[in-house]
């Protein structure tokens, strides 16, 4: 096929596409959807940034107030005029009131493309020495109904809507020629019809891809800035999305090569879309839940409470008696809260927490172990569904994958232990009960917020090669079949 | 005459191999959905039932403790799995089912299953509800999209219209043939789901009413979709165009519109962040609302009132302990702050949900989903009802413990046993039907629209 011929086909294709009003309208609507999705994603990203700013301001306000109050108490010979449970010189009080620090997962700008798990998993925790962060802080105040409905983000538009647009774009490349009676004319041409059809599909693909990225890239830069552009996450996103589209073009050409009617082509392609995009992930879900059932967090709580009850049968009972019956604590009076009482509660709380944490650790390992196993299985089986594969990759590149949130959660847990190590010895300081000083305010452990956008667990080059392999096989098979049809 | 047309159409439909494949595929999906729904229901309901017993037993056997310390050990209120959750589990996995009953803090529902799920969850959860709301409509469209258009494409429309069969009979015959195929599928769903329901539900009599209403809704939903598909097939006179339009309608109605409406509602009615919520409620509790005064001030006033009530001069002379009195006092005043704050959150969420639900006017799929969740008691309203009842129970426990604490500094298992167990009954069928009212009205509206479309397309049945 010479250059002139190629140019003619390109011109012809563009004319054909532009003149197809239904296609133009559909294209416009879906691109409008794409722009909306980008805007929605960037708004969520910006909202998280704004929440983080609120957290910082709140944190500063609280720390300043704590510092000021302790300074005042220390200046006035340790006299605190307010309620004893609010006196910050008791380590237990500060640990409960002003002490808990925020642990923040800094959002990555590509999050504007894929919401992933970020609407379900918390991107910040208020880390408490007692309750484990996952048990108390269940993320933002979210609307369960809206979460159930799902997000309208770039990933949704690309994974679900664009394959359908591609189907509409290509389902009748060959069949329309037959149905309109131009097939016989084409057969008299001295050009290879196999090549001609392939060239037409390839031109449509290139036009599609160019148009797509020419819209997405500048809009994204406008919405979230240019930083993402220099990350490998972005370029892998471009490659994977482009390959996903190429897969659907190749599949369409493959179905076209069977020389069915336009209706049957469309039906087959829609069915494949439905099967790979919805049914296969659902079947995988059923299978994986059967093989690796994820235990409920309820069991974890039950374990904790059992351990606590066992502890209070003997050791805990002794401790409570020691603390509560001690003349210095005078807790039994139950009319005036004494310094000893505040101290006593603190001791019981941290002893109980140690017991609870140890008991929960076993159940926790089981829970996260099963989720991890499911994730590993998904990684192995994701090739069964291009939609699932792309969704997994997009969320990994955007920093919204379960593994990234899990890593954040593990870091928060480590931070919580660090916080416990800071407060527990001070809470157990019996000599004065009031062991928290101005110096300690600056020593309160703080979480170092960072971006979690590493995707090291996934072998991207291998996946990309597999994608290319599948697409090439589909194209070659379709090409061979087209040659045979012409004969 | 209609019978002849129905017979002819059914023969044609079942002669094509693609229908056989579609049927086979759908049968597998139905079986899987029933199985998945069944395992979901049995595992969840037994876990929640057992956990409710266990958590309460743990509470009443915690031994000798300071009453307030023991109250902090508390116990959980678990939302029982809805009887019809095996059909449609609605938003259950997104709301959580555990409510911690402990002093001072208004509970929030925790342990949302979806937070411990993999990304596969975002593709949905295959049960009967999901199958009917998401996949079944597309199958109806695949079966019916060419019921009329094929006559134009094959050039048989002239023959058909020129035959003895009247236009009305042709129309009704084709529609009934499509409905027969759809009914067969509904029949299979009905048979399998009823069998499982009978085998597992202890409260069959209680469930039957809701189940029958659900089935009636399903039949109406299927008739609406079938009528639309048949009309579109007649109006377009092209199988491909009809398929593209119907698939587009499905995509818009099932995925696009609800998600888009959800995002719009988040922007129109933005939610308060947890940080701000905590900050505002903390300040209101600590520094008071209006001229209430600070917590310290209110505590002093409370002491003055208590001393006056018992005609004594000092706290040591009080015949009751003062700490539980303050706990009870602040439980009430803090409770008002939290009620106000949560009520604002609930109202905002109700406004968001209302906006999304109003989109059902453009999507019968969404209307049916809404109807289904209400009837199976897996909706937001039932969840809020549970949350409210659990909070009431939490406060009830607070009062019992604090009254005891005023005179005792140690509680034994004998006392813990006097604290009642939590029991939850979801709202009755009438209440659920009222909640489903708007969805049912919209479905009726869609029925009228489908009838209008049928009349319009029928008039276009000319050569």
- For B326-364, how does the pLDDT look when each residue is reduced to its tens digit (9 = 90+)? 888 998 888 899 989 999 999 999 999 999 999 999 999
Of A120-134, A376-390, B132-146, B233-247, the one with minimum mean pLDDT is A120-134
pLDDT recorded at residue A138: 56
Task: Establish if A277 belongs to a structural domain.
Answer: no
CA distance B325 to chain A (A): 9
pLDDT recorded at residue A334: 64
A296 part of contact set with chain B, CB < 8 Å: yes
Task: Establish if A56 belongs to a structural domain.
Answer: no
B269 part of contact set with chain A, CB < 8 Å: no
Give me the residue from A55, A282, A308 closest to B124, CB to CB. Answer: A282
A401 part of contact set with chain B, CB < 8 Å: yes
Q: A441-455 pLDDT, tens per residue? A: 999 999 999 999 999
Cα–chain-centroid distance for residue B321? 46
Residue of B nearest to A147 (CA): B94
A466 part of contact set with chain B, CB < 8 Å: no
The pLDDT of A332-346, averaged and rounded, is 74
| pLDDT confidence bin for B412, thresholds 50/70/90 | very high
* Chain B CB contacts of A283 below 8 Å: 32, 126
For chain A, how many structural domains are there in total?
A: 1
pLDDT recorded at residue B199: 83
Cα–chain-centroid distance for residue A212? 24
Question: Hey, are the CB atoms on A139 and B274 less than 8 Å from each other?
Answer: yes
A401/B338 Cα distance (integer angstroms) = 34
Task: Establish if A57 belongs to a structural domain.
Answer: no
Burial of A329 (0-12, 13-18, 19+ CB in 10 A): buried
pLDDT recorded at residue B171: 92
pLDDT recorded at residue B122: 85
A374/A362 Cα distance (integer angstroms) = 19
Of A7-16, A37-46, A415-424, the one with minimum mean pLDDT is A7-16
Q: Could you tell me where the DSSP H helices lie in B288-379?
A: 295-309, 322-358, 364-375
Residue of B nearest to A352 (CA): B73
Q: Is 80 exceeded by the pLDDT of residue B202?
A: no
Going from the C-alpha of B100 to that of each of A143, B103, B119, B123, the distances in angstroms are 20, 9, 28, 31
B338 part of contact set with chain A, CB < 8 Å: no
Mean residue pLDDT of chain B comes to: 90
Q: A240-265 pLDDT, tens per residue? A: 999 999 999 999 999 988 888 888 88
B322 part of contact set with chain A, CB < 8 Å: yes
Q: Is 90 exceeded by the pLDDT of residue A313?
A: no
Going from the C-alpha of A406 to that of each of A367, A373, B130, B380, the distances in angstroms are 12, 13, 29, 28
Mean residue pLDDT of chain A comes to: 86
Give me the residue from A40, A82, A262 closest to B240, CB to CB. Answer: A262
Task: Establish if A95 belongs to a structural domain.
Answer: yes
pLDDT recorded at residue A431: 67
Q: Which residues contact B76 (CB under 8 A, 6 or more apart)?
A: A298, A301, B51, B52, B55, B98, B99, B100, B101
| Contact assessment for residue A108 and residue A233, using Cβ atoms and an 8 Å cutoff | yes
B136/B142 Cα distance (integer angstroms) = 10
* Chain A CB contacts of B312 below 8 Å: none
pLDDT recorded at residue A270: 87
Of A198-207, A210-219, A464-473, the one with minimum mean pLDDT is A198-207
* Chain B CB contacts of A86 below 8 Å: 295
Question: Hey, are the CB atoms on B119 and A395 less than 8 Å from each other?
Answer: yes
Q: Is 60 exceeded by the pLDDT of residue A415?
A: yes
- CA dihedral A138→A142→A148→A154, nearest 10 degrees, is -110
Q: Is 90 exceeded by the pLDDT of residue A301?
A: no
List, as ranges, residues 117-176 from B with C-beta within 8 Å of A.
117-126, 130, 134-135, 138, 142, 146
Helix (H) or strand (E) holding A125: strand A124-127
Strand order in the sheet with B109-110: B75-78, B98-101, B109-110
Task: Establish if A39 belongs to a structural domain.
Answer: no
Question: Hey, are the CB atoms on B66 and A320 less than 8 Å from each other?
Answer: yes
Q: Is 80 exceeded by the pLDDT of residue B97?
A: yes
**With left for phi above 0 and alpha for psi between -120 and 50, is residue A124 left, alpha or beta?**
beta
CA distance B171 to chain A (A): 22
Q: Is 80 exceeded by the pLDDT of residue A327?
A: no
pLDDT recorded at residue A132: 66
Helix and strand totals (H; E) in chain B? 19, 3
Question: Hey, are the CB atoms on A145 and B142 less than 8 Å from each other?
Answer: no
Question: Hey, are the CB atoms on B356 and A146 less than 8 Å from each other?
Answer: yes
Going from the C-alpha of B33 to that of each of B30, B95, B196, the distances in angstroms are 5, 22, 11
| pLDDT confidence bin for A64, thresholds 50/70/90 | very high
Q: What is the DSSP letter of B65?
A: B
The pLDDT of A202-215, averaged and rounded, is 88
Would you mind telling me the total number of residues written for chain B in this entry? Answer: 463
Going from the C-alpha of A302 to that of each of A141, B54, B67, the distances in angstroms are 26, 8, 21
Q: Which residues contact B392 (CB under 8 A, 6 or more apart)?
A: none
pLDDT recorded at residue A139: 65
pLDDT recorded at residue B292: 85
Q: Is 70 exceeded by the pLDDT of residue B90?
A: yes
Q: B14-71 pLDDT, tens per residue? A: 887 777 888 888 888 899 999 999 999 999 999 999 999 999 999 999 888 888 888 9
Task: Establish if A156 belongs to a structural domain.
Answer: no
Question: Hey, are the CB atoms on A335 and B315 less than 8 Å from each other?
Answer: yes
| pLDDT confidence bin for A24, thresholds 50/70/90 | confident
Greater confidence, B46 or A179?
B46
- pLDDT > 90 fraction of chain A, expressed in percent and rounded: 46
A33/A215 Cα distance (integer angstroms) = 12
Task: Establish if A283 belongs to a structural domain.
Answer: no
β-strand partners of B195: none
A123 phi/psi in degrees, rounded to 5: -100, 0
pLDDT recorded at residue A134: 54
Question: Hey, are the CB atoms on A149 and B295 less than 8 Å from each other?
Answer: no
Q: Could you tell me where the DSSP H helices lie in B61-166?
A: 67-73, 92-95, 128-130, 136-144, 149-154, 157-162
Q: Is 60 exceeded by the pLDDT of residue A357?
A: yes
pLDDT recorded at residue A363: 81
Q: B217-274 pLDDT, tens per residue? A: 999 999 999 999 999 999 998 888 898 899 889 989 998 899 999 999 999 999 988 8
* Chain A CB contacts of B275 below 8 Å: 51, 54-55, 58, 124
| pLDDT confidence bin for B380, thresholds 50/70/90 | very high
| pLDDT confidence bin for A418, thresholds 50/70/90 | very high
The pLDDT of A435-444, averaged and rounded, is 92
Greater confidence, A332 or A59?
A59
pLDDT recorded at residue B77: 94
Task: Establish if A221 belongs to a structural domain.
Answer: no
A450/A107 Cα distance (integer angstroms) = 8
Beta strands A101-106 and B98-101 are unpaired
pLDDT recorded at residue A1: 59
Beta strands A450-451 and A101-106 are parallel
**Three-class SS of residue A127?**
strand
Q: Is 70 exceeded by the pLDDT of residue A324?
A: no
Greater confidence, A8 or B76?
B76
List, as ranges, residues 251-280 from A with C-beta within 8 Å of B.
262-264, 266-267, 270-271, 274, 277-279
| Contact assessment for residue B219 and residue B368, using Cβ atoms and an 8 Å cutoff | no
Residue of B nearest to A323 (CA): B66
CA distance A335 to chain B (A): 4
Give me the residue from B62, B110, B239 closest to A309, CB to CB. Answer: B62
Of A437-441, B104-108, B165-169, the one with minimum mean pLDDT is B104-108
Cα angle: B447, vertex B183, A270; to 5 degrees: 80
B49/B42 Cα distance (integer angstroms) = 11
pLDDT recorded at residue A333: 57
CA distance B111 to chain A (A): 6
B101 phi/psi in degrees, rounded to 5: -100, 95
| Contact assessment for residue A175 and residue A202, using Cβ atoms and an 8 Å cutoff | no
Q: Is 90 exceeded by the pLDDT of residue B79?
A: yes
B75/A179 Cα distance (integer angstroms) = 71
Q: A81-137 pLDDT, tens per residue? A: 888 888 999 998 999 888 999 999 999 999 999 999 988 888 998 898 877 655 455
Cα–chain-centroid distance for residue B404? 40
The pLDDT of A216-242, averaged and rounded, is 95
Give the residue among B138, B454, B30, B254 at the shortest CA–CA distance from A266. Answer: B138
pLDDT recorded at residue B85: 92
B65 phi/psi in degrees, rounded to 5: -150, 160
A401/A409 Cα distance (integer angstroms) = 13
- How is chain B split among helix, strand and coil, in percent rounded to 5? 75, 5, 20
B366/B417 Cα distance (integer angstroms) = 47
| pLDDT confidence bin for B184, thresholds 50/70/90 | very high
* Chain A CB contacts of B110 below 8 Å: 135-136, 138, 297
pLDDT recorded at residue A321: 73
Cα angle: B119, vertex A141, B273; to 5 degrees: 120
Interface TM-score (ipTM) > 0.85: yes
A381 part of contact set with chain B, CB < 8 Å: no
**Three-class SS of residue A101?**
strand
Give me the residue from A83, A348, A378 closest to B299, CB to CB. Answer: A83
B36/B296 Cα distance (integer angstroms) = 56
CA-based max dimension of chain A: 108
- pLDDT > 90 fraction of chain B, expressed in percent and rounded: 57
Question: Hey, are the CB atoms on A140 and B61 less than 8 Å from each other?
Answer: no
A104 phi/psi in degrees, rounded to 5: -120, 135
What's the domain range around A107? 85-142+293-460
* Chain B CB contacts of A160 below 8 Å: 251, 255
| Contact assessment for residue B220 and residue B211, using Cβ atoms and an 8 Å cutoff | no
Q: B interface mutation test: which of A58, A92, A263, A266 has the most B CBs within 10 A?
A: A263
β-strand partners of A126: A102
A367 part of contact set with chain B, CB < 8 Å: yes
Helix and strand totals (H; E) in chain A? 20, 3
Would you mind telling me the total number of residues written for chain A in this entry? Answer: 487
β-strand partners of B65: B411
A450/A182 Cα distance (integer angstroms) = 61
pLDDT recorded at residue A391: 95
Helix (H) or strand (E) holding A487: none
pLDDT recorded at residue B381: 92
B98 part of contact set with chain A, CB < 8 Å: yes
| Contact assessment for residue B201 and residue B116, using Cβ atoms and an 8 Å cutoff | no
Q: Is 60 exceeded by the pLDDT of residue A332?
A: no
Of A236-240, A328-332, B117-121, the one with minimum mean pLDDT is A328-332
**With left for phi above 0 and alpha for psi between -120 and 50, is residue A83 left, alpha or beta?**
beta
Encoded tokens for A95: 């640990």
* Chain B CB contacts of A375 below 8 Å: 118
pLDDT recorded at residue A203: 85
Q: B278-289 pLDDT, tens per residue? A: 889 988 988 888
């Amino acid at each position: 096929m010479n250059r002139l011929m190629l140019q003619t086909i390109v011109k012809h294709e563009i004319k054909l596409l532009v003149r197809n009003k239904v296609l133009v309208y559909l294209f416009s609507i879906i691109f409008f959807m794409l722009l909306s999705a980008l805007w929605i994603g960037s708004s969520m990203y910006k909202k998280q940034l704004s929440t983080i700013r609120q957290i910082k301001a709140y944190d500063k306000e609280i720390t300043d107030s704590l510092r000021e109050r302790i300074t005042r108490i220390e200046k006035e010979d340790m006299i605190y005029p307010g309620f004893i449970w609010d006196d910050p010189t008791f380590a237990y009080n500060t640990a409960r009131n002003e002490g808990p620090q925020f642990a923040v997962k800094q959002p990555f700008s590509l999050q504007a493309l894929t919401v992933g798990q970020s609407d379900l998993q918390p991107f910040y925790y208020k880390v408490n020495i007692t309750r484990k962060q996952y048990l108390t802080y269940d993320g933002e105040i979210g609307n369960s109904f809206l979460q159930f409905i799902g997000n309208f983000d770039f990933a949704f538009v690309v994974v679900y809507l664009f394959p359908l647009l591609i189907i509409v774009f290509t389902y009748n490349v060959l069949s329309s020629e037959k149905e309109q009676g131009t097939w016989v004319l084409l057969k008299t041409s001295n050009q290879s019809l196999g090549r001609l059809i392939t060239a037409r599909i390839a031109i449509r693909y290139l036009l599609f891809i160019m148009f797509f990225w020419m819209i997405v890239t500048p809009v994204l830069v406008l919405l979230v800035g240019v930083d993402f552009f220099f990350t490998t996450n972005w370029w892998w996103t471009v490659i994977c999305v482009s390959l996903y589209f190429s897969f659907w073009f190749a599949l369409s050409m493959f179905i076209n090569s069977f020389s069915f009617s336009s209706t049957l082509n469309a039906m087959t392609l829609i069915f494949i879309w439905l099967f790979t995009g919805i049914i296969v992930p659902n079947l995988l879900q059923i299978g994986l839940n059967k093989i690796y059932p994820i235990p409920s967090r309820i069991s974890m709580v039950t374990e904790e409470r059992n351990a606590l009850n066992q502890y209070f049968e003997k050791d805990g009972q002794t401790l409570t008696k020691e603390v509560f019956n001690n003349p210095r604590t005078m807790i039994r009076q139950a009319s005036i809260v004494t310094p000893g009482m505040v101290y006593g509660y603190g001791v019981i709380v941290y002893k109980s927490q140690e017991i609870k944490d140890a008991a929960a650790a076993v159940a926790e390992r089981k829970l996260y172990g099963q989720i991890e196993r499911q994730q590993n299985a998904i990684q192995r089986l994701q090739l069964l569904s291009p939609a699932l594969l792309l969704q997994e990759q997009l969320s990994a590149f955007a920093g919204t994958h379960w593994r990234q949130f899990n890593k954040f959660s593990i870091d928060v847990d480590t931070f919580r232990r660090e916080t416990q190590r800071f407060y527990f010895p001070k809470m157990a300081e019996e000599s004065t009960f009031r062991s928290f000083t101005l110096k300690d305010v600056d020593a309160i452990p703080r979480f170092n917020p960072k971006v979690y956008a590493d995707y090291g667990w996934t072998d991207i080059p291998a996946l990309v090669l597999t994608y290319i392999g599948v697409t090439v096989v589909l194209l070659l098979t379709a090409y061979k079949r087209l040659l045979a049809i012409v004969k | 005459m209609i019978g002849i047309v129905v017979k002819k159409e059914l023969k044609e439909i079942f002669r094509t191999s693609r229908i056989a494949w579609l049927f086979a595929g759908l049968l597998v999906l139905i079986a899987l959905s029933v199985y998945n729904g069944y395992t979901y229901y049995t595992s969840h309901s037994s876990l929640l039932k057992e956990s409710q017993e266990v958590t309460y037993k743990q509470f009443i056997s915690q031994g000798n403790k300071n009453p307030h310390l023991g109250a902090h050990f508390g116990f959980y209120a678990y939302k029982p799995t809805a009887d019809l959750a095996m059909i449609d589990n609605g938003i259950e996995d997104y709301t959580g089912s555990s409510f911690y009953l402990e002093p001072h803090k208004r509970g929030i529902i925790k342990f949302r299953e979806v937070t411990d799920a993999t990304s596969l969850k975002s593709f949905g959860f295959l049960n009967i509800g999901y199958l009917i709301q998401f996949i079944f409509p597309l199958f109806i469209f695949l079966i019916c999209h060419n019921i009329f258009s094929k006559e134009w494409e094959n050039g048989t429309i002239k023959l058909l219209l020129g035959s003895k069969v009247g236009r009305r009979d042709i129309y009704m015959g084709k529609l009934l043939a499509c409905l027969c195929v759809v009914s067969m599928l509904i029949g299979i769903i009905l048979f399998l789901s009823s069998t499982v329901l009978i085998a597992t539900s202890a409260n069959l009599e209680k469930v039957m009413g809701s189940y029958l209403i659900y089935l009636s809704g399903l039949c109406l939903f299927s008739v609406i979709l079938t009528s639309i598909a048949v009309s579109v097939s007649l109006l377009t006179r092209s199988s491909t165009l009809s398929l593209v339009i119907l698939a587009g309608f499905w995509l818009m109605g099932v995925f696009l519109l609800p998600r888009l409406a959800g995002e719009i509602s988040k922007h129109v009615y933005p939610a308060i962040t947890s940080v701000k919520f905590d900050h505002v409620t903390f300040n209101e509790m600590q520094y008071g609302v209006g001229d209430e005064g600070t917590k310290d001030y209110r505590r002093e006033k409370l002491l003055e009132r208590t001393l006056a009530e018992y005609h004594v001069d000092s706290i040591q002379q009080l015949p009751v302990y003062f700490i539980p009195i303050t706990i009870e006092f602040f439980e009430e005043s803090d409770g008002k702050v939290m009620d106000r704050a949560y009520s604002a959150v609930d109202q905002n969420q109700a406004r968001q949900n209302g906006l999304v639900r109003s989109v059902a006017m453009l999507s019968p799929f969404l209307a049916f989903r809404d109807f289904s969740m209400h009837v199976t008691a897996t909706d937001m309203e039932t969840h809020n009802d549970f949350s409210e009842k659990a909070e009431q129970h939490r406060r009830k426990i607070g009062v019992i413990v604090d009254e005891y604490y005023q005179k005792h500094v140690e509680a034994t298992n004998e006392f813990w046993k006097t604290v009642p167990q939590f029991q939850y009954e979801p709202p009755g069928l009438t209440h659920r039907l009222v909640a489903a009212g708007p969805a049912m009205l919209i479905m009726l509206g869609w029925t009228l629209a489908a009838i209008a479309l049928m009349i319009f397309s029928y008039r276009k049945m000319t050569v």
